[in-house]
Each structure stands twice: as C-alpha cells, then as structure tokens.
Amino acid sequence: MRPQHDDHDGRPSPRTQTPKPDLWTDTQTFFLERIREDRPEGETGRHRLAKSAKPAGKTPDAKRATETAERFLTPAGPLTPGVGPVRALHSSAKAGRVVALGLIALLGVSVAASERGNPTQLDNASQQVADRNTIAEAADRSAPRVTASVSPTPSVSATPSPSPTVKKVVTSVKPVAGLDQKQMNNALTIVKTGQKLGVSQRGLLVGIMTAMQESDLYNQASSAVPESFDYAHEGSSVDYDSCGLFQQRTSMGWGTVKQIMNPTYSSTKFFQSLLRVSGWQNMELTLAAQAVQGSAYPYAYAKHETTARKVLTAILAAL
C-alpha cells in the first residue's frame, strides 16, 4: 500500500505512513516456530542430539548428512560461524533444517544491510524530525510574505548649523558728552530709525547734528500750536508752528501735529528727505543738514559735529 501524500508538497503525511517491516525480527520468529514444531515439549537440544546420535557410517542418512554439512556448511567467513555443532547432527532432516535456517539468516542480514544503506529509508526518530520539518515548511509557505520597507537613514552633516542670532534690544544708552538720559534716548531713536531705512553712518551723524541744533535733542511742543501739548513732550519753544525733535512744521507739509510730535515719525521724515537730496554724501555735513531743513543759518549745524560723533559712537557700541 503506497503512503498517502500531503496536499502541500507531496511528502508523506506522518499520520498515514505505513510502518516498514522488520525483516530481522520476522526471521527470528520464523526460526523459533520451526524449532518448536520439531521438538517435543520439554525436550532440549542436547536430549535430541543424544537420541539421534548413531555410529558414524552405519546408515545412509548419516552419510548424506555428513556430506551435506561438508558441502554447504563449510566455514566461509564471519557470516557462517558455529558449524561444529551442526556436523554433530547425523540426521538428514536436522542438517536440512540447519541449512535452511542459515540461508534465511543470511537473507535477513543482507536485507537489513540493504535497508540501512538506502538513504531514502529513515528510522523512526529521523522520520519524526523530517515530518516536523515538513509541517514547518508548509506553514511557512502558506504564511503571507511581508516586505518591510526600510527608510533611508538621513545623512547627518558634520558641520553644525549656526544657531539663529538673537538681536539685542537696546532701550537706553548711558549718557555721554554732557547729555542727559532724555537726550540720549532721543538720539538712540534717531539712530535706530536711520538704520532701518539703510542710512549710512555719515547720514546718522547728520541726523544727530540737525536735532541738536533744532531742539537740543528734546521733543518740544510749540506755544504757537496748543495741540502739541496734548502729546508726550519734553519742554516747549516758539518758532512759528515748528514742533518736535526736528522742529518740523505742519503748514509745510511735514505731517499732522500728532505725527510730528512722535520722535520715530519725525526722524523717518527727516531721513527720507535727506536720501532724496542728490549728492548729499559728498556735501559738508552742515550743508547736507541745510539741504533738508532750509534754515536761515546753514552753517549752524557744524558746531555740533564733535559732540554728535561721541554720541553716535556710544550708541553704535551699545547696539
């Protein structure tokens, strides 16, 4: 009967495989059954030899037994041991049974040897291991294949990225050149506003010189413009409708009173006008200021140059 096969790969199923015959055990059983049939109950081999022993050469049967033993049972190697007791048997029946048993034993040994040498036949332990491997392989083939996606490892730059520069916020600078804190604060506002507009240091110096001449670096209200007192101010003066750091006039189109009284706004309007003057960078500082202000005293701004330079240097060092 052929073994049943598994549905997966055609290998024999461990539960339906037909057990293989053990020829060596069957041969031994056959020998024992034949001996029991020939020997009466309670009789030993020694008794049987004694009963059958007769003088040698007295009967034809004994002669034939001796000839058969010498012909077929002559020792030829390790597979035919123990022929001495067989020669003692003078009965032809006894000799025939011994010859038959020897031939059957040789057949069993050769079959067992051929089974051991056949690589396709496995013993019970090996067969169990093979069956377990077959089941594992079948389960592995039936399992779904999952391909893991591997994301590429991002490259790490050896050079650390520069940290963002935090700009220092300066709200005040210690007074220099005999100025008080209010004057220094107004000068700081002028410099910061000019830097935002991209004005060079020469232009910043012109702005400080102009404010020092026009308002002594104070945000002044005007007695001629009562509204100017409604906004933050630092003293007052009377010069037509001029107000603020640069004494700009509403009537001349510089802006509203509220706007002019704002130091940042008035500084912005001054620098925007300076940048529109053609060739101001090559002018004398005082004449560059005059080109914006239109004062009756165009050289009055020059006397503030030294102090303005000290103030600008201190502010730039603090920023």
Task: List, for residues 233-268, the tens digit of each pLDDT value.
Answer: 999 998 889 999 999 999 999 999 999 999 999 999
Tokens standing for residue 142: 């039936």
Stretch among 82-91, 196-205, 273-282 having the lowest mean pLDDT = 82-91
> Taking the domains of the chain in order of start, what are their residue ranges?
23-120, 181-318
φ/ψ (deg, to 5) at 236: -150, 165
Is 152 a residue whose pLDDT tops 70?
no
Q: What 3-state class would DSSP assign to 122?
A: coil
What's the pLDDT score for residue 169?
85
* Per-residue pLDDT reduced to its tens digit, 285-306: 999 999 999 999 999 999 999 9
Spatial separation of the C-alpha atoms in residues 14 and 3, rounded to whole Å: 10
Say how far apart CA 44 and CA 12 lie, in whole Å.
Answer: 48
pTM passes above 0.75: no
Percent of the chain with pLDDT over 70: 48
